[in-house]
């Protein structure tokens, strides 16, 4: 099988189509799987949507969509949220004076795999996670609520991420070191370095898209200044990596190609 249409993605850019496809899948498919949400799972969902409202740099109609979903969830004070009610709440509202619309189509651009079973949603989820930790690092004092975003992502993965084996691996890494993160910039670097650990573990495995080999990222051709050598061994220049992440995961680097 070949992808439905050839897309020309630039790996140095982010694509809004990937981000919106990911949000559509996460909010309307993945989170809507349980028959009811309650307890820690409901709290994790509310927290995830509130974090998106705060830090996701979406198009105006998507921002409105997230704000209205967040407002609806805040008003939902019963202990159980049935799937039928959630399914209604995650629908678009095009008629309001401010349309609340998250496109319902799934289009992968930067996350397009060479075959349909490669890349796509998990690639988009990592991208959104990095984007959120970087946006949080760019706003507010560094030492204030360092785990605001990272903790929310941890809960989302634990309670909703459909790949259970992935969720277990991620939770094990989080339990080991996430609580030691003391600042927002450190949180963004924690996610970067742990994503690289996942890349190293998965390199050469059967979930790897042969057209997109798992790399220690960013590779030298994307960010030469991120790499250095200490006594003959490779090392990361973390301040340079942080500068690179801030530029790569910035609203100015999100392209609208292929959005509806």
Q: Which is nearer to ligand FAD, 39 or 219 (CB)?
A: 219
For the bound state, the minimum distance from the C-beta of residue 12 to ligand FAD, rounded and expressed in Å, comes to 9
Displacement of CA 28 from its chain's centroid (Å): 15
Assess 56 for contact with ligand FAD (CB under 6 A).
no
Q: At closest approach, how far in Å is the CB of 71 from ligand FAD?
A: 28
**Residues numbered 167-206 forming contacts with ligand FAD, rule: CB under 6 A:** 169-170, 192, 195-196, 198-199, 202
Number of residues counted as binding ligand FAD (CB under 6 A): 25
212 near ligand FAD (CB under 6 A): yes
| Three-point CA angle 232, 203, 226, nearest 5° | 40
Query: Is residue 240 part of the contact set for ligand FAD (CB under 6 A)?
Result: no
Q: Is 226 in the site for ligand FAD (CB under 6 A)?
A: no
Closer residue to ligand FAD in complex, CB, 86/242: 242
User: What region, left, alpha or beta, does residue 182 occupy, with left being phi > 0 and alpha being psi -120 to 50 degrees?
Assistant: alpha
236 contacts ligand FAD (rule: CB under 6 A):
no
Chain centroid to Cα 79, Å, comes to: 27
Q: Which of residues 2-21 bind ligand FAD (CB under 6 A)?
A: 11
- For the chain, what is the radius of gyration of the CA atoms? 18
Taking CB atoms within 8 Å and a gap of at least 24, the contacts of 154-157 are 154/178, 155/40, 155/43, 155/44, 155/47, 155/48, 156/26, 156/44, 156/45, 156/47, 156/48
Q: Say which DSSP state 93 is in.
A: B
Confirm or reject binding of residue 209 to ligand FAD (CB under 6 A).
yes
CA–CA separation, 233 and 226 (whole Å): 14
Residue 15 contacts residue 110 (beta carbons within 8 Å)? yes
| Contacts to ligand FAD from residues 108-137, by CB under 6 A | 111, 119, 122-123, 125-127, 130
Residue 195 or 227 with smaller CB distance to ligand FAD: 195
Binding site for ligand FAD (CB under 6 A): 11, 111, 119, 122-123, 125-127, 130, 157, 163, 165-166, 169-170, 192, 195-196, 198-199, 202, 207, 209, 212, 217
């Amino acid at each position: 099988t070949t992808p439905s249409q050839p897309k020309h993605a630039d790996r140095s850019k982010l694509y809004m189509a990937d981000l919106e496809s990911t949000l559509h899948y996460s909010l309307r498919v993945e989170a809507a799987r349980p028959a009811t949400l309650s307890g820690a799972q409901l709290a994790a969902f509310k927290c995830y949507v509130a974090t998106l409202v705060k830090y996701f740099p979406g198009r105006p109609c998507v921002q409105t969509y997230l704000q209205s979903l967040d407002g609806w969830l805040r008003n939902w004070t019963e202990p159980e949220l049935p799937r039928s009610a959630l399914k209604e709440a995650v629908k678009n509202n095009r008629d309001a004076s401010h349309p609340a619309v998250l496109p319902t189509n799934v289009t992968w651009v930067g996350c397009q795999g060479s075959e349909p079973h490669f890349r796509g949603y998990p690639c988009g989820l990592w991208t959104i996670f990095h984007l959120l930790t970087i946006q949080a690092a760019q706003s507010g004092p560094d030492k204030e609520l360092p785990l605001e975003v990272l903790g929310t992502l941890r809960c989302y993965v634990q309670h909703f991420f459909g790949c259970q084996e992935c969720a277990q691996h991620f939770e094990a890494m989080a339990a080991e070191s996430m609580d030691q993160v003391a600042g927002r910039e450190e949180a963004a670097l924690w996610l970067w370095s742990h994503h690289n650990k996942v890349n190293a573990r998965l390199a050469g495995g059967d979930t790897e898209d042969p057209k997109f080999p798992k790399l220690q990222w960013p590779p030298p051709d994307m960010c030469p200044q991120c790499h250095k050598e200490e006594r003959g061994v490779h090392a990361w220049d973390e301040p340079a990596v942080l500068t690179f992440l801030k530029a790569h995961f910035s609203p100015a680097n999100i392209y609208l190609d292929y959005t509806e």
